[in-house]
Amino acid sequence: MELSLAHPVVKAFMCGSLSGTCSTLLFQPLDLVKTRLQTLHSNMQPGSARVGMVTVFLSVVRTEKLMGLWKGVSPSFVRTIPGVGIYFSTYYSLKQHFIQEPGPGAVEAVLLGASARAVAGVCMLPVTVIKTRFESGRYNYGSVTGALRTVCQTEGPRALFSGLTPTLLRDAPFSGLYVMFYSQAKNALPQEISMSLYSPLANFCCGILAGVLASLVTQPADVVKTHIQVSPNVYKRTAHAVQYIYVEHGFQGFFRGGVPRSLRRTMIAAMAWTVYEHLMARMGLKS
Q: What is the dihedral of CA 149, 171, 215, 14, to 10 degrees?
A: 80
Q: Quick check: is 287 in a domain?
A: no
Q: Quick check: is 260 in a domain?
A: yes
Q: Are 211 and 270 in contact (CB under 8 A)?
A: yes
pLDDT attached to residue 1: 45
Q: Which long-range contacts (C-beta less than 8 Å, at least 24 apart) are formed by 191-199?
A: none
All residues at 6 or more sequence positions from 168 whose CB lies less than 8 Å from its CB, including other chains? 118, 121, 122
Q: How far apart are the C-alpha atoms of 109 and 111, rounded to whole Å?
A: 5
Q: Quick check: is 3 in a domain?
A: no
Side-chain-facing half-sphere of 192: CA atoms under 13 Å: 0
Q: Quick check: is 206 in a domain?
A: yes
Q: Quick check: is 1 in a domain?
A: no
Q: Are 265 and 221 in contact (CB under 8 A)?
A: no
Q: Quick check: is 278 in a domain?
A: yes
Q: What is the dihedral of CA 13, 167, 52, 67, to 10 degrees?
A: -40
Q: Which residues of 83-104 are buried (b: 16+ CB within 10 A; e: fewer)?
A: bbbbbbbbbbbbbeeeeeeeeb
Please give the model's pTM, rounded to 2 decimal places: 0.73
Q: Assess whether the previous peptide bond of 82 is cis (omega < 30° from 0).
A: no
pLDDT attached to residue 110: 94
Within 10 angstroms of residue 195's Cβ, the number of other Cβ atoms is 10
Domain boundaries, position 14: 8-282
pLDDT attached to residue 109: 92
Q: Quick check: is 2 in a domain?
A: no
Tell me the C-alpha to C-alpha distance, in Å, between residue 32 and each of 101, 105, 131, 134, 139.
40, 35, 9, 9, 14
Q: Are 38 and 223 in contact (CB under 8 A)?
A: yes
Q: How far apart are the C-alpha atoms of 65 and 52, rounded to whole Å?
A: 19
What CATH number did the domain enclosing 75 receive?
1.50.40.10
Q: Are 87 and 276 in contact (CB under 8 A)?
A: no
Mind listing the pLDDT tens digit of every residue in the chain (287 residues)? 455 656 788 888 888 888 888 888 888 888 888 888 877 755 555 445 567 788 888 988 999 888 888 887 888 888 888 888 999 999 999 998 888 877 788 899 999 999 999 999 999 999 888 888 887 778 888 788 888 999 999 999 988 998 888 888 888 999 999 999 999 998 888 888 888 888 888 889 999 999 998 998 888 888 888 888 888 888 878 888 899 889 988 888 888 888 878 887 888 888 888 888 888 888 887 77
Tell me the C-alpha to C-alpha distance, in Å, between residue 161 and each of 53, 86, 169, 224.
28, 18, 14, 14
Q: Are 39 and 227 in contact (CB under 8 A)?
A: yes
Q: How far apart are the C-alpha atoms of 154 and 160, rounded to whole Å?
A: 11
Q: Quick check: is 107 in a domain?
A: yes
Within 10 angstroms of residue 16's Cβ, the number of other Cβ atoms is 32
How many domains does the chain divide into? 1
Q: Which long-range contacts (C-beta less than 8 Å, at least 24 apart) are formed by 56-63?
A: 57/29, 57/33, 60/32, 60/33, 60/36
